[in-house]
Amino acid sequence: MIWGPQDDQFPAASRDLFLNTSYKMSPDSDRTGIRLQGPAIERRTDIEESIISEGVIAGSIQIPGDGKPIIILGETVTGGYRKIATVIAADLPLLGQIKPGDELHFVAVSGKSAYRALHEMEERILRFEEGLSA
C-alpha cells in the first residue's frame, strides 16, 4: 500500500498501529468493500469528524467512525470517510482471493515501487498471453 490521500489526518501512533497489525477479513464484507477486524484506527482529534464525500478508487482504505478499516473494491464511486492508504494496483487481484477469517497486513511502499510492481505484473500477463498464442 501507499500512504494517503489523507494519512496526515491520523496520528503517527495510528499509522504505526495500522502497519503493525494483522487484520482479519470480516464476514460482513461484500463486493463493495472488505471490512477488516482488528484494533480501531483513531483519527486526529483536532479535526472535524466528518468529511465531504468524494470520489474513491478500488484499493482505497477508508477508516469509518468505528475505526475499523474498509478496503474499497470496485462498486463504490464516492465515500465520506478518511482514507489512510491505498492498496497498490498490482496487489488488487490478491484481494479477490481472500475469504472471511483470512489474515492480511499492510506494507508501505513508495510510488516508484508501486509502479515497478504494476509493470512487473503487466509483463507477466503479457508473457502468459504470448504463451497462449504460441
Mean pLDDT over 104-129 rounds to: 93
Render pLDDT for 23-71 as a digit per residue (tens, 0 to 9).
999 999 998 899 999 999 999 988 877 788 888 899 999 999 899 999 9
Omega before residue 5 within 30° of 0, cis: yes
Taking the C-alpha atoms of residue 4 and residue 6, their distance in angstroms, rounded to an integer, is: 5
Give the model's pLDDT for residue 127.
87
List, in order of start, the domains of the chain with CATH numbers.
Answer: 2-109 (2.40.100.10)
Look at residues 46, 36, 58, 59 and name the one whose alpha carbon lies nearest to residue 9. 46
Q: Give the closest residue to 38 by CA, choosing from 119, 133, 106.
A: 106
pLDDT above 80 for 117: yes
In Å, how far from its chain's centre is CA 81? 13
